[in-house]
Structure 1
Amino acid sequence: MDGAMSIWGVWGTSETGHDKRLAAIRGRLLAGGAMCALCLAPVVSASDAHSQTVQVQGADISASRQFDIPAQPLITALSQFGRQSGLQVAFPAETTQGTRSNAVVGSFTPEQALTQLLQGTGVSWRITPQGSAVLGVNQFTDTEGGDFAAGDTTLLDKITIMSRVNAAHGSGFQGTPDWVYETPESISVISREAIVNSPSRNTRDLFDPMAGVWANRSEGQNPGISVNIRGLQDQNRVVTMIDGARQNFQRNAHGSTQRTYVDSAFLRTVEVEKSGTSSVGGAGTLGGSVNFRTLLADDLIMPGRRWGAELNAATGTNEFDFDGSIAAAFRVSDRFSVLGGISHKDLGAYDIGENGTLDVGDGTYRNEGLLFSGSESWSGLLKAEVDFTDNAKLTLGWFHNQVDASQGIYQDSGTQIFKREDQQYIVNDTLTATFAWDPVSDLVDLKGQLWYSGTTNEEKRGARSFDNLGEFTTIDYEMGTFGGSLQNTSRFTLGLGDLSLNYGVEAFRDDGETTAPATADPETGSDLSYGYRGLNPSGRRDVISGFTNATLERDDWLTVSGGLRYDYFGLAGTTKIFGPVERHTEVIETAYEEFIPGQCYTYPDGTPIINPVTGEQVCEEGRWVTRTKYKTVTSVEQDSADVDIDLSGGALLPTAMVAVKPFDWLQPFIKYSQTYRPPTIMEAFASGGHPNGTNNEFAPNPWLEPEQGRTWEIGANVSYDGILRAGDRFRMKAVGFYREIEDYITIGQIYRSETDFEYNAYVNLDGITRMKGIELEANYDAGRFYLGGTFSYIDTDWAETYIYNDVPHNAEPGVIFVPPETQFTIDAGVRLLDERLTLGGRVTHADMGRPAYGILAAGYATEAYTVYDIYGSYAFNEKAKLRFAVNNVTDVAYVPALGDTSLPAPGRTATASLSFRF
């Protein structure tokens, strides 16, 4: 049963009366609610990780809330009621079978909403003073005080408890769902509310306010997203997913390498896990995961209807030309729904800010804007959701994204300055099939998923003035990844508390290929295009992982979990290395005979001298002479050799967590996790050199080891309602972390005996890289006004040497990106005109601390900056809303964190958007 779980329980009383019986009911509800998240977890790590301990909060059951629940099967309606009311919902399993609910739309108390929802269904119900809704318990009667009446002990049927794990918005910072502040782990979520309220040039802009998370912009002209979590990025250190399908595309460059292409138009949430997990989605990751979740049919279909649609259109200044989408869903029957959508975005080359001084140089900026910072993209979404029974569901999805963009610079040829453009055409397709089965059994709650993601980057290289390549027709970079997972959750009631076991397997395969037309160097004969294929090598990588995690919950105050996973990887194939270019010069001597004709003589005045005997002019006879010719010849030789790569390995990775609740509003926790990242195809097979080079700069390292991490975290969740006034809400998550990484992979040098030559190569740093930091996000919402924000502090001590020939050497990475040492965002606003009008502002400040470092790091050392934004919205009615914003109000010139000094951020930009629901 999707989004639900079941427990067996005996609710009873003794001679002491209803107080003990009520305590028993509350204890069972709270413990069951805490455990139910395991069943609710989707197939990917971000949700699996944060769904371990969903507990009842002290909900204000007398306050009104906005409800938007269509008429539908009762089990689905109760799930939505639980999310929108903030209450846990418990009921016997058979209560919902074959029953439909009524629509509930408007502002109601939970009691009023549940009355309308269940009117005419024959289902009895009760809301407890502790904030839980109990349905179908006809054995109990009410007393005047609102408690359950005393009576004989009663054995109830199986109870199903719904939670709010699937919520897309809530009371936290920028609408973060409440389950984030009920989960004892380092989790952040970008809510649907934050996504639709923030028109963005690129989906990576959504990460700017998040604590401990950044989007790398070093390849700022490319619309791909590279996420940095706590200082780790690229090479799958951070796993990015779309609906649980991994996006493992890599492309070598001077900046970031990992790139995910996703449009924000169809995102319902973005879920970020910042450490390791013993669940689906944790295989092969070092520093956490990001899961982009797309829309569901229930997000579009309005109450009382079988279909629904949403239309959004935005435009703005500073080349924010158009951003629009339309999505629609249709409920064919009570058990089958379909969803589809299409979006389009058109952006031009923006102007940077005018206030401040930046050394942009002549490479990327002219009066017409930042060079090649525009793009045009299309995306589409198709989904089908099938409820075979109340207990079995299948969801099929296809997400498509295609982008036309360019990269390049202004280039000085010596006689003129011209634009050098590399055209990019990028297509990403993600296919998912997700199945969930939760029969009437505590031993079975089964979830499985099969998925495929494929990214193709077709590039047309512009001609360079400094090489012999000319213009290629196309270069194709491709990466296809397919995988799957299967997991089950079993639950038991023990004397110590309620135990849940989550266990399963996941596996995936990366298959990468780069093709480029061969172009021979006229002097050496070397393939000038090998630099594209060699540094973006073709190859295959397999990863398989098995895991188990046990969670024990003692009433509503203690949660203890421990997990173990085993990751295994394999990389095998053949690549090439090239030796030094050797030039041999030789002088060749050639002898030959040359005939010299005779010479006739004259007097100085030109009069011929006559032989008096013959009467003829005096002349010499011609003769043959021997001459020598010298010729210099240079021959060029470059040896090459095949290199077999066979890397494999595995590791056992434990996790452990303890959380307590000394008060209903406070949940401190501690967690330990180990992670393990095998080398990628790029790291294992990289060879060759810069295009137009001699192909002997890089070589593979057959002795490369996986990276391993250990992370300790201590934190607390706070969820408190009614602090200053009835109906206000305070949510906070604070986490401190310390991480150690062994065998961090970067660039060094190795020697290859096949060619008797030294190369740049990926190597393992010797020693431990240490990272520590603090992350905080909090929000206070009093209805008419709100105040929230995030804070991040990070300090990293990188290991800087590696062992080569038994001697430590200083590593020379291309570039290691270092996030700001401190960064904070403050967001505040007011709601007027019965909360139809919202006006807000936001300030973001970043202090850089230690800059990026490495042999290419000079262009990535950004300075501190402060940016101000204002925004607002006006709801004409329930179906139409106007949103507006001005980003970078002060038009400051700055380079964003993890950016490139030649690619500053946009200057002042105003946007306006209209959205309609049908």
Structure 2
Amino acid sequence: METGHKVGFRLGGRHTKLLVTVLLASLFQTTALSLPAVYAQSASTTTELTRQTSFNIPAGSLSAALMQIGQQASVRLSVNAKNIKGIRIAGFKAVMATQDALDMLLDGTGLIYEIDPSGIIIISRFQDAISVDSDDASLLPVIVTASSGDPVGWQGAPEWVYETPRAVSVIGREEIKNSNARTAADLFAGVPGVTVADNPQDPGISINIRGLQDQNRVNVMIDGARQNFQKAGHDETGRFYVDPAFVRQIEIEKSAISGVGGAGAMGGVVNFRTIEAKDLIKPDRSYGVEGKLAAGTNAYNFNGNLAAGIKLTDNVSFAAGISKKNLGKYQAGNNGSLEFSKTGQPVVFTGSETLSWLTKLNIDLNDDHTLVLGALGFHDAFTNSTIGGDFRNESDITNITGTATYTWQPDDSWFDLEAKLWANRTHNDQYRLPRTSKGGGFDNDFALNSLGGSLQNTSQFDLSALSISWNYGIEAFKDVGKSKSKPDVSTVDLDSLWIGADPSGERNVYSAFNQLAFSYKDLVELNFGLRYDQFNLKGTPKTVEYDLSGNTSVVGQNISNSGNRFSPTFALAITPLDGLQFFGRYSEGYRIPTVMETFLGGEHTGGGLPYLPNGALRPELAKTWEGGLNIQLDDQFIENDTLRLKFSYFNRKVENYVALANVAGATLDLGSFELQIPYYQYGNLYERINTQGFELEAFYDAGSFFAGVAYNRSYIDLPNAFTFDSPYTEHGEAADRVILLNVAPKSKLSANGGLRFLDERLTLGGRIIYVEPDGQFGFFSGGYKTDVYTVVDLYGSYEFNENATLRVDVNNLGDVAYVDALTAGEFPSPGRTVTAALNFTF
């Protein structure tokens, strides 16, 4: 701990230099963000200060320790971020009064604390403290809340990211607010090991982590509610719809986990956490409003949102927001070459109109119990087609998510309980314009309804010199797929056309888990996890059968599948020096087949390419080893500077990978020749898919300037050919064609740096992104040829006051013609685009 003035006395008053305030209270572990009940009078806070509380404060940053004090003692604290930057503490565990815990933490730092009339505990430098009785309005503190600790790392990552012994990344609230993103895909450009498959004609995205994507291999959630929608086509199948306007933080786990969210997934977990009233309301106010107005060139027509929060009572708060985005048909870059389209020309059907909304109700039932009810809606209308505008589909997408979260955090280290219920409905109402093939136009209705819940508790206790944390619980969810089609031509046989590519069916998943963490004197930490997954699928898909003359008949089948497995995790972390941590981890992930993979049936639109269901699919299994280090350094080169770094290496083997391929089909006798009609079906590949690589993210901030870098390199081992297993092939028979396997880029580099002027109100910076795509695998891989590309962006922002900031971005400064990795080669990315945005609060 740094040396300085002795603390331990209490002053009344306000102080003048409180420019950035962190609201620290009732955080759920390190990632949950619920506030404790609001205490209106300082007398109530004084009572809390004298109450005996069981504290468990780990060694680390003072910022993180104050967050733990706020959570464990249910008090509200605010502090100027600059005043605690770079201060480290040794940590302690004891039962004591909150005031004694604060004295212990602040001893020797030159900081004191005081209680203002609203009951907030304000921490300040001794020389900055003033009398609470002052009537000078100019001395009132400017308070800006931060939802999960100071953003100290890459892309606004909070401190806990660099204290977590595994591969995890976070995109913080300020990073999201400052991004004039066309879609949520743009937010992930700087995340190492993560790539987004982004069809520019569809606002939905598919997140690829270390080469795994689609079919729920990566569990994507909004506030813990799964987004499981799948839609078959010639590109990515898993499409997730969210507006970044209401996202306060994105948390990314890069491998299988044993806790909530890990059921049935093996490639990682991505959780989009949305805003609450506390993110909008300043501690000295009863309401708050936050908004954004943005527009730009290259068909970035309008992007605006408005959110408001209000305290209805001391214990009840409510937030609501609305967002509107209008994007037109953008132009590709001029400089470079494109294989499938023209440079500098508009890219067909890349426009869309998005309307989103959010409501959230927070209820502090009492000191220990909270209830949060939330709903989020997304609607978009768009058209997709080939690059020539042929074969048009007009889609109307609606995505509705609802959550109910109850937490119980008593003054007892054995209980830290959370219960959650959630529901999600993603609905695509699509009209497929008439083709030259049979059937004319179609109204297609694709929907997936998901319902789930979880119950977990964390108990903390000591056993001799060991500190033990035990997290245990259950989770379950159900997916129900509903699809139907209505042709323009009433004589068309629906059963032989668009009935199966997004099939109907039901999937149920049940899971239980335990995680034990043993910590010895903040030096060594051991983690053991065990998850049990069980599933069943059932449905009645329809298949098309041919006789020798080519006549077809439709047969319904009752298909079911079930299975279960125990999946372990193990991790070891060693912290030999304060701010330096080494870690290693082993995990197994069990990926359960989806409704689409199991019940695929019918024919491709237009006929002639029949699909088959597969009730014998085996779940995929991923086994991952990883190791790495975390670095937290403060005041190393100049006063108050910070350096945060995370590095990880991984080696992963996937067994029973599920892929779409053609299998043995009907042979038709047409007289002078025979015609082989292949069936297309999802099946397991016998060969393992091996991937290894490393990831780095580092960020240095010296106040007047900053610089950061993220880089990843991956190596995938694919056999020259695959053997395919399904009920319609003999064991080990070679598949004629695997349709497509997504292969992550070989490497990706993102570097960001800038300067701050005028007391850090003016920021000027730039970013460079370099991507080296890898070749895709399968029959469709020729359509995904993309070249190495480098894109440079410039940006600047000016903070007029604490309530208004102007941001200007120049994206793709060089007007480079390129195609994003994992995107169909005929759809290039936007050329040079200039945007301006005004972010405001009041």
Q: Give the TM bin, normalised by the shorter chain.
A: 0.7 to 0.9
Residue in structure 2 matched with residue 488 of structure 1 by the alignment:
457
| Matching residue of 1:649 | 563
User: Which segment is superposed worse, 728-737 or 896-905?
Assistant: 896-905
For residues 83 and 40 of structure 1, the distance between their equivalents in structure 2, rounded to whole angstroms, comes to 21
Tell me how far 1:760 sits from its aligned partner. 2.0
State how far apart, in whole Å, the 2-side matches of 1:905 and 1:851 are.
19
Residues 712 and 80 of structure 1, relative CA distance in 2, 3 Å threshold: farther
SS where residue 884 of structure 1 aligns? strand
- Measured after TM superposition, the shift of residue 319 of structure 1 is 0.5
In structure 2, distance between residues paired with 1:290 and 1:260:
11
Note the 1:647-726 alignment, pairs <5 A. 647-694=561-608, 697-726=610-639
Structure 1 residues 812-821 or 636-645, which shifts more? 636-645
CA spacing shift, 1:83–1:291, aligned 2, 3 Å: farther
> SS of the residue aligned with 2:612?
coil
Quote the residue 1:747 is aligned against: 660
Compute the TM-score of the two structures, normalised by the length of structure 2. 0.84
Q: Which amino acid aligns with 1:239?
A: N
For 2:626 and 2:330, the matched residues in 1 are separated by 41
Shift of 1:807: 3.5
Amino acid at match of 1:759: Y
- Of residues 782, 794, 801, the one that matches 2:723 is 801
Counterpart of 2:745? 820
Query: CA-to-partner distance for each residue in 1:188-227, whole Å, 9 max, x for gaps?
Result: 111111111110100111001110001102x321100110
The whole-number CA distance in structure 2 between the counterparts of 1:545 and 1:83 is 44
1:601-623 Cα deviation digits (max 9, x unpaired) = xxxxxxxxxxxxxxxxxxxxxxx
How far apart, CA to CA, are the structure 1 residues paired with 2:119 and 2:525? 37
Please give the per-residue CA displacement for 1:222-252, whole angstroms capped at 9, x wherever unaligned: 1001100000000000010000000001100
Amino acid at match of 1:392: H
| Structure-1 residue corresponding to 2:475 | 506
Which ranges of structure 1 fall in alignment gaps of 5 or more residues?
1-35, 45-52, 62-66, 102-107, 129-163, 412-417, 584-635
Name the counterpart of 2:415. Answer: 444
**C-alpha separation in 1, matches of 2:657 and 2:811:** 38
Matches within 5 A, 1:781-860: 781-799=701-719, 800-803=722-725, 804-810=729-735, 812-848=737-773, 850-860=774-784
Aligned residues of 1:504 and 1:546 also touching (Cα < 8 A): yes
The residue number in structure 1 matching 2:201 is 221
- Equivalent residue for 1:351? 331
Return the alpha-carbon distance in structure 1 between the equivalents of residues 400 and 281 of structure 2. Answer: 26
Q: Which residue of structure 2 aligns with residue 302 of structure 1?
A: 282
Task: Report the Cα offset of residue 43 of structure 1.
Answer: 11
Distance in structure 1 (CA, Å) of the matches to 2:122 and 2:520: 29
Matches within 5 A, 1:561-600: 561-580=527-546, 582-583=548-549
Q: Secondary structure at the match of 1:205?
A: helix
The letter of the residue matching 1:561 is N
Partner of 1:619: none
Asked whether 1:908 is paired with 2:818, we answer no
1:488 maps to a residue whose letter is: N
Gaps of 5+ in 2: 1-25, 35-55, 127-144, 669-675
Paired residue total: 756
Which residue pairs with 2:250 in the alignment? Answer: 270
Residue identity opposite 1:302 in structure 2: K
1:455-492 alpha-carbon deviations (Å, 9 max, x no partner): 1111111122x2133233x2111011010000111222
Structure 1 residue identity aligned to 2:646: K
Distance 1:732 1:366 in 2: 39
Could you say what secondary structure the match of 1:370 adopts?
A: coil
Q: Is the 8 A contact 1:749 1:763 kept in 2?
A: no
Secondary structure of the structure 1 residue equivalent to 2:203: coil
Equivalences for residues 328-343 of structure 1 within 5 A: 328-343=308-323
Picking from 470, 488, 506, the partner of 2:440 is: 470
Offset from partner CA, 1:90-123 (integer Å, 9 cap, x none)? 89989689xxx9xxxxxx9997875244689799
Residue 427 of structure 2 corresponds to 456
Matching of residue 185 in structure 1 with residue 107 in structure 2:
no
CA shift digits 1:334-357 (9 cap, x unpaired): 211100110100000000000011
In the alignment, structure 1 residue 874 sits paired with structure 2 residue 798: yes
How far is 1:127 from its partner? 11
The amino acid of 2:318's aligned partner reads: V
Cα distance in 1 for residues equivalent to 2:594 and 2:604:
20
Matched letter for residue 648 of structure 2:
V
Aligned-residue Cα RMSD (Å) equals 3.4
SS of the residue corresponding to residue 289 of structure 2 reads strand
One-letter identity of the residue aligned with 1:254: H
Given the superposition, is the C-alpha separation of residues 79 and 705 from structure 1 closer, same or farther in structure 2, using an over 3 Å criterion?
farther
1:729 pairs with 2:666: no
1:762 equivalent to 2:669? Answer: no
Contact 1:577 1:687 in 2 (8 A): yes
Deviation at 1:168, TM superposition (A): 6.0
1:809 is paired with a residue whose SS is coil
Cα gap change, 1:165 to 1:93, in 2 (>3 Å): farther
Equivalent position of 1:589 in the other structure: none
Q: Output the CA distance in 2 between the equivalents of 1:120 and 1:917.
A: 21
* Amino acid of the structure 2 residue aligned with 1:222: D
Q: What's the secondary structure of 2:640's corresponding residue?
A: coil
Asked whether the equivalents of residues 54 and 183 of structure 1 are also in contact (C-alpha less than 8 Å), the reply is no
Given that 1:777 and 1:788 are in contact with CA atoms closer than 8 Å, whether structure 2 keeps it comes out as: yes
Q: Indicate if the aligned counterparts of 1:55 and 1:182 stay in contact, CA closer than 8 A.
A: no
2:538 corresponds to which letter in structure 1? A
- Residue 768 of structure 1 and its aligned partner are, at CA, apart by 1.4
Return closer, same or farther for 1:122/1:42 CA change in 2, 3 Å cut-off.
Answer: closer
Compare 267-276 and 741-750 and name the one that shifted more: 741-750
Mapped partners of 1:873, 1:503: distance in 2: 45
| Distance of 2:258 and 2:82 partners within structure 1 | 26
Q: Distance in 1 between matches of 2:308 and 2:71?
A: 18
* 2:512 maps to amino acid: G
Larger radius of gyration: 1
Cα distance, 1:308–1:714 mapped onto 2, change above 3 Å? same
Which residue identity is paired with 1:914?
A: L
Preserved contact between residue 113 and residue 121 of structure 2 (Cα < 8 Å): no
Identity level (%): 38
**Distance in 2 (alpha carbons) for counterparts of 1:266 and 1:81:** 26
Q: Deviations over 1:498-532 (max 9, x none)?
A: 1111110000000111111157797xx643x7543
Partner-residue secondary structure (3-state), 1:858: helix
TM-score (norm 1): 0.77
Deviation of the 1:443 alpha carbon: 1.9
In the superposition, relative to structure 1, how do residues 109 and 194 fare at CA in structure 2: closer, same or farther (>3 Å)? farther
The question of whether the paired residues in 2 share the 8 Å contact of 1:37 and 1:165 is answered with no
More moved, 824-833 vs 801-810: 801-810
- Counterpart code for 2:76: A
In 2, distance between residues paired with 1:788 and 1:911? 23
Residue 882 to residue 39, structure 1, CA distance change in 2 (3 Å): closer
Name the SS of the counterpart of 1:556 in structure 2. Answer: coil
CA distance in 1, matches of 2:146, 2:309: 22
* CA drift at 1:83: 12
| Alignment of structure 1 residues 613-624 onto 2, 5 Å | none
Residues in 1 aligned to 2:577 and 2:531: alpha-carbon distance in whole angstroms: 33
Instruction: Assess if the C-alpha contact under 8 Å between 1:452 and 1:481 holds in 2.
Output: yes
Helix, strand or coil at the partner of 1:674: strand
5 Å matches for 1:198-237? 198-217=179-198, 219-237=199-217
Contact 2:441 2:488 in 1 (8 A): no
Distance in 2 (CA, whole Å) between partners of 1:688 and 1:84 is 65
